[in-house]
Amino acid sequence: MKKKKQHNEEPPKEQELDTELLRMYLMGATNPGLTTRIEKADEFIDLHIEKFEKGRSPIAGHDALFIQLEKFELALDRAIAAGNLEFRVVHGLGTGKLKKEIYKILDKHPHVRSYSNDYHSRYGYGSTLIYLQ
């Protein structure tokens, strides 16, 4: 008859829990050691459609507005990720449609503290300075 082996092993010790790391994982960070901070971003973007038409056929009006707003949102996100405190968007004067759409975005954006359309020596009233948080 075989004898049962007795295990004199100690139960596993509890490991210390890194609460900060746990908090980051719970908040949705897949790799807390990896940063999403961008080192450098432009301080302004010029949204005149001619800047985006190079080598293309002319862009229709509603498509142009869509492209301009998309470029604006990407540049604004990069400025926020880089930690910029100010960001200027050059929208031009025109009919004011682009400016109105940009202001709708800025009014709802959680990282925008305020914005102003004061006169600028280079852009006149065709640009807006955005103050970020």
- Give residue-wise pLDDT tens across range 30-66: 555 555 555 677 899 999 988 776 666 677 767 889 9
Q: What is the mean pLDDT of the chain?
A: 82
Could you tell me the CATH number of the domain that includes residue 115?
3.30.1370.110
Tokens of 93: 């004067």
Residue 10 lies in a domain: no
User: Which of the pair, 37 or 131, is modelled with greater confidence?
Assistant: 131
Quick check: helix, strand or coil at residue 81?
A: helix
Does pTM surpass 0.85?
A: no
Residue 28 lies in a domain: no
Residue 22 lies in a domain: no
C-alpha to C-alpha distance for 127 and 119, rounded to whole angstroms: 8
pLDDT grade for 109, boundaries at 50, 70 and 90: very high
The beta-carbon contacts of 117-120 under 8 Å, at least 24 apart in sequence, are 120/88
User: Could you list the residue range(s) of the whole structural domain that residue 124 is in?
Assistant: 41-132
Q: Give the pLDDT score at 29.
A: 58
Residue 90 lies in a domain: yes
pLDDT grade for 14, boundaries at 50, 70 and 90: low
The C-alpha angle 104, 110, 116, rounded to 5 degrees, equals: 55
User: Which of the pair, 45 or 25, is modelled with greater confidence?
Assistant: 45
Residue 20 lies in a domain: no
Overall domain count for the chain: 1
